[in-house]
């Protein structure tokens, strides 16, 4: 099991990312490309940089939701490989079966 503070750090990043999501998206796509002069681009880039670092989506790291394992996670299930295998054998994943026998 992973330390609790690491899991809470991830939750903090998720909250911040949700909060700043629209602001970041708007300044990225439309404004920077539309504005011609370089100094205005610097201004918009400055706005992007002023939002807290933990609101960047690249900082999020997926973890297994049951153990918090940072590696070997599958996006379809949100689980790490070991736990996934245990749960499949315990018949807890709907319609998941073995493909070999």
Partner 1 sequence: MGQKINPLGFRLGTTQSHHSLWFVQPKKYSEGLQEDKKIRDCIKNYVQKNMRLSSGVEGIAHIEIQKRLDLIQVIIYMGFPKLLIEDKPRKLEELQMNVQKELNCMNRKLNIAITRIGNPYGHPNILAEFIAGQLKNRVSFRKAMKKAIELTEQADTKGIQIQIAGRIDGKEIARVEWIREGRVPLQTIGAKIEYCSYRVRTIYGVLGIKIWIFIDEE
Nearer to partner 1, 40 or 86 (CB): 86
Q: Are 52 and 20 in contact (CB under 8 A)?
A: yes
Minimum distance, C-beta of residue 89 to partner 1, in the bound complex (Å) = 3
**Which residues contact partner 1 by CB under 8 A?**
65-66, 75-79, 87-98, 101
Nearer to partner 1, 23 or 93 (CB): 93
CA–CA dist 56, 16 (Å, integer):
8
Enter the tokens of residue 73: 């996670």
Cβ-based neighbour number of residue 70 at 10 Å = 14
Minimum distance, C-beta of residue 63 to partner 1, in the bound complex (Å) = 12
């Amino acid at each position: 099991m992973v330390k609790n503070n690491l899991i809470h750090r991830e939750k903090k990043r998720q909250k911040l990312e949700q909060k700043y999501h629209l602001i970041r998206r708007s300044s990225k796509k439309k404004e920077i490309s539309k504005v011609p002069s370089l100094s205005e681009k610097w201004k918009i880039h400055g706005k992007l940089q002023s939002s807290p670092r933990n609101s960047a989506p690249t900082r999020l790291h997926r973890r297994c939701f049951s153990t918090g394992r940072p590696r070997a996670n599958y996006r379809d299930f949100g689980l790490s490989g070991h736990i996934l295998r245990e749960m499949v054998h315990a018949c807890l994943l709907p319609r998941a079966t073995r493909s070999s026998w």
